[in-house]
Amino acid sequence: MAGGGEIRGVKARSLLKVFVVFALILGVSTTQIGTVSAARPTDTYFTFVGPLEIELDIDVLPSGVVKITLHRVVWGVDGDWEGEWVHSGFATISPNGAFFAFAKGTFTGSVLGHTGTVDFVIHTHGSWPPGGDFEFKFDKITILGGTGHLANIHGQGTGYEDYFHVRVHFAP
């Protein structure tokens, strides 16, 4: 098409002008035209490595509930997400073994080649019966927002033990 070639009898420059005018009428900027596909949800997968660092307090309350305060936990991350997770939160284990944890933190690294940070929350449910082994039921992760090239990331997902599946999309 160099030199003003034709497509089905219409000059390429004319088609480009019509396309740009049509996009402006619809209110789509030319920078958005190149990133429309980025708004489609994409399944991502990653695993935790570590923990690399952990600071916590453990208290047994008079009711028999075990309360774990997570001051700082650092994990390495491998997969479609590459980088480091840092979070804090709490966990409780009831006398019958019901386990619940909540954490809020920040991921720093890249997601599908986009770099920046991602703020997130994780809810974990499981059981840890007296004298028994810990058993995960599920994890739920929710993305709260991001910075850098991850500023427009949105998504949520689930996990089991150290393996996560998060459906993400990039949209303003």
pLDDT in tens, the chain (172 residues): 444 444 334 343 433 343 333 333 333 333 333 333 456 889 999 998 888 899 999 999 999 999 999 999 999 999 999 999 999 999 999 999 999 999 999 999 999 999 999 999 999 999 887 788 888 777 899 999 999 999 999 999 998 877 899 999 998 7
Domain count, the chain: 2
Please tell me whether residues 9 and 42 are part of one structural domain. no
Please tell me whether residues 65 and 103 are part of one structural domain. yes
Please tell me whether residues 160 and 81 are part of one structural domain. yes
Would you state the structure tokens that stand for residue 98, as one six-digit string? 């019901």
Distances (CA, A) of 161 to 113, 134, 137, 141, 165: 25, 10, 9, 13, 11
In eight-state DSSP terms, residue 80 is S
Please tell me whether residues 93 and 141 are part of one structural domain. yes
Domain encompassing residue 2: 1-34
Please tell me whether residues 92 and 163 are part of one structural domain. yes
Please tell me whether residues 108 and 30 are part of one structural domain. no
Please tell me whether residues 30 and 57 are part of one structural domain. no
